[in-house]
Amino acid sequence: MQQVFSIPKSIKENMRYTFCPGCDHGIAIRLVAELLDEMGLQEKTISATSIGCSVFLYDFLDIDCVEAPHGRALASATGIKRVRPDKFVFTYQGDGDLASIGLAETMHTAFRGERVSAIMINNTTYGMTGGQHGPTTMMGQITTTSPTGRNREYYGYPVKMAEQLALCDGTAFSARVALDSIPHINEAKKAIKKAFQVQLDGTGFGFVEILSTCPTNWHMTPEQAHEHVRTKMVETFPLGVFKDITK
């Protein structure tokens, strides 16, 4: 009998799954793990981890990791890459980590064209602390700190990282993907692969923003949450490749 599906080698054995039901972190981490396997990167990977729900990366991935304070993962990643340029270095961060508290580190990593890759989970809220308004919260979205919905007067506008990073000279690849359907998941995997490949080729900074669900804080079922990504989130955060200098 042929085995057609298994847990990727880069996922830790006996890992305990701690994300909420319907959360897309699981799919995103699996895609990363599959690519580490397929691209033969597991043994040469060093990751700088982030703070928030994404903090538990080291519980899932069987790779070397060092914890960075909130927002500073790409600074630590830069440090690793500059002394160990032969290693594969990536970060896996939430939107609060990468686009709010760590925005300066993110932008400057891209400006410098640092040979590292970054994945940002965009779920439009601070998940771990219980669903507060964050940099990517959509206009009108109700959170625990935007009780009447995000409005221009008090909160301004959401940050669109994939577009912003595409403007940086040092960015080799920037894309936004979603995980709400099989075709989109396949697209997402292709994009992450590209963001990894530009690092390996020494082309520049690789970035993928993943639209992701947070059913718990959105107060939705997993199905409703994916429907929300499909119909509402993509209006604010259109999917696509915003920069690919390899083309």
Partner 1 sequence: MENKNWKAENSEKVLIKGNYAIAQAAINAGCEAYFGYPITPQTEIGEYLSAKMQELGRGYVCAESELAAINMVMGAVSTGAKAMTSSSSCAVALMQEALSYASANELPVVLVNVMRAGPGLGYIYPAQGDYNQAVTGGGNGDYKIIVLAPSTVQECIDYTYRAFYLAQKYRNPVIMLADGLLGQMMEPATFGNYPYPEVDTSQWALTGAKDRTSRAIYSCAPDEKKQIQRIYDLFKKFDVITENETSYEEFETEDADIILTAFGSMTRNIKAAMKVLREKGLKVGCFRPITLNPFPTKKIAELAQNVKNFIVVEMNMGQMFKDVKCAVNGLTKIDLINRPCGEWLSVEEIVSSVEKILEKNYAASV
User: Which of residues 107 and 210 has its CB atom nearest to partner 1 in the complex?
Assistant: 107
Least spacing, CB of residue 16 vs partner 1, in Å: 11
Least spacing, CB of residue 51 vs partner 1, in Å: 8
Least spacing, CB of residue 29 vs partner 1, in Å: 14
User: Which of residues 64 and 227 has its CB atom nearest to partner 1 in the complex?
Assistant: 64
Least spacing, CB of residue 182 vs partner 1, in Å: 30
Per-residue b/e over 129-167, b at no fewer than 16 CB within 10 Å?
A: eebbbbbbbbeebebebbeeebeeeebeebbbbbbbbbe
User: Which of residues 38 and 43 has its CB atom nearest to partner 1 in the complex?
Assistant: 43
Interface contacts to partner 1, rule CB under 8 A: 12, 42-46, 48-49, 55, 58, 61-69, 72, 75-84, 87-88, 104-105, 107-108, 112
User: Which of residues 57 and 175 has its CB atom nearest to partner 1 in the complex?
Assistant: 57
User: Which of residues 101 and 119 has its CB atom nearest to partner 1 in the complex?
Assistant: 101
Least spacing, CB of residue 47 vs partner 1, in Å: 9
